[in-house]
Amino acid sequence: MHIAIIGGGPGGYVAALEAAKLGARTTIIEKDKFGGTCLQAGCIPTKAYLHCTDLLEAAKNSSIFGIYGMSDAKPEFRDIVKRKNQIVEKLTQGIEGMMKRSKVQVLRGTGTLVNEKEISIRSNDGNTTNITADAIIIATGSTPVLPSFLGYDGKQVVSSTEILGIEDQPKSLVIVGGGVIGCELGQFFSRLETKVSIVELMPQILPNEDRDVVQVLERKLRKEGLDIYTGLGVEKVEKDSEGVEVYLSDGTKLKSEMMLVSVGRKPSTEGLWAEDLQIKTDRGRIVTDEFMRTSVSNIYAIGDTVMSPNLAHVASKEGVIAVQHALGTAKNGIKYHAVPRCVYTDPQVATVGLTETECIKEGLKYKTGKYRFGALGKAIAIDKTDGFVKIIVNEDRQIIGASIVGELATELITVLTLAVELGLNIDQMDQAMYAHPSLSEAIMEALHAF
């Protein structure tokens, strides 16, 4: 069986490796570099950046631990960028190496679906080649939403793609959108002494998370000098040779050297298939079943092109399930009740399952158990006391959601992700021993709160 995949991001390349492992003849079509937005202009570059400023912050506060002479540590922006580029290049080459070792055929160019089994590939040098496949997986990812009135030009008004490629640090930056990208890049640049303002239309930054969780992060960001404007929209943007002027809906005027637009992403599916190929969509996203199959039975779609959370780990899981279904080995379809969501700020924010806000909206009866890191021995020892663990259970004491804000939240959330995925209750979770001293004890204490 021949499986063809259009797109080499975290959904596409993982699907290709799974198909090859299961013995299928596999072709992957990629117009640029492997890794997609996640590796090239998203997850990995931002984490490389944030680790640098985490180290800078630790150096500046080293006297707390009786270590002196580090408080005047100075960052060199171009060296930080250089390190990020080296990491991205190493991982890109790693994926290409995996394709070669797995004997996956790699075709460079832009793929277009001619019919349910044929793909036309326009190479970067303009040549066109057609291939046929028994099953096709669409994994073309997404691009930033850039409303025209915001004046995007890729230079003064930029998306996350451009800002992760700049080599000169801006002295000031307005960020429109207080989601994950806005918060992560906002803190990164602020810690490098760029003057940062975040503008969020919703009543709070990280609009999808509970207010008590967001308050911990917002308090830290404001303390570090970020200006945060919530519940306000952008009315007008003006540009000149000196920078950008941003007019907010309450009359506030912000002036900065650069503006970052991070208000969401849209699927990269325009012109992807012939008009007579009836692939069903809903608000621009491809509709799929639990096995990622579209309305055309042998065509699958995964990742940011479909109606699921725009997260790399979701795309990868969807890719594996699509391949397994195409080859007749799938045991279970995709489930989204236990998707971990992570924000790599300081403090980190991580959530899985339902939030309290969602429980209230759905009319569910629930209880919460909560424990603050400020009362935990390990947190005090390493001076990371911001935040808490919050566990949400239903009437049957089953864990249906959890939020962690604090040090290593994005690692600790895996424990509670397993609990939500497997439908464990608090009594089952409490049977385990939690290492002492450790930050994971906050999970144990939150369970004891019930």
Q: For 218-246, what is the mean pLDDT?
A: 97
pTM of the model: 0.96
pLDDT band at 124 (very low <50, low <70, confident <90, very high): confident
As a CATH number, domain 148-263 is 3.50.50.60
pLDDT digits (tens, 9 = 90+) for 233-273: 999 999 999 999 999 999 999 999 999 999 999 999 999 99
Question: What is the assigned CATH class of domain 341-448?
Answer: alpha beta
pLDDT for the residue 125: 86
CATH code of the domain made up of 2-143+266-326: 3.50.50.60
Interval 177-191: pLDDT, tens: 999 999 999 999 999
Tell me 393's DSSP state. Answer: E
In this prediction, residue 412 carries a pLDDT of: 98
Whether the Cβ atoms of residue 140 and residue 269 lie closer than 8 Å to each other: yes
Q: Is 436 a catalytic residue?
A: yes
pLDDT one-digit tens code per residue, 349-365: 999 999 999 999 999 99
What's the pLDDT tens digit per position in 56-88?
999 999 999 999 999 899 999 999 999 999 999
For 230, residues 6+ apart whose C-beta sits below 8 A from its C-beta are: 178, 200, 202, 203, 204, 205
Q: Is 117 exposed, middle or buried (0-12, 13-18, 19+ CB in 10 A)?
A: middle
Choosing from 313, 325, 436, 448, which is the catalytic residue? 436
- H runs (alpha helix) in 309-390: 312-326, 356-362, 377-381
Give yes or no on whether 148-263 and 341-448 have one common fold: no
- Residue 275: predicted pLDDT: 86
User: What mean pLDDT, rounded, does the chain reach?
Assistant: 97
What's the rounded mean pLDDT across residues 334-345?
98
What pLDDT digit, counting tens, does each position of 13-48 carry? 999 999 999 999 999 999 999 999 999 999 999 999
pLDDT reported for residue 302: 98
Domain boundaries along the sequence of the chain: 2-143+266-326, 148-263, 341-448
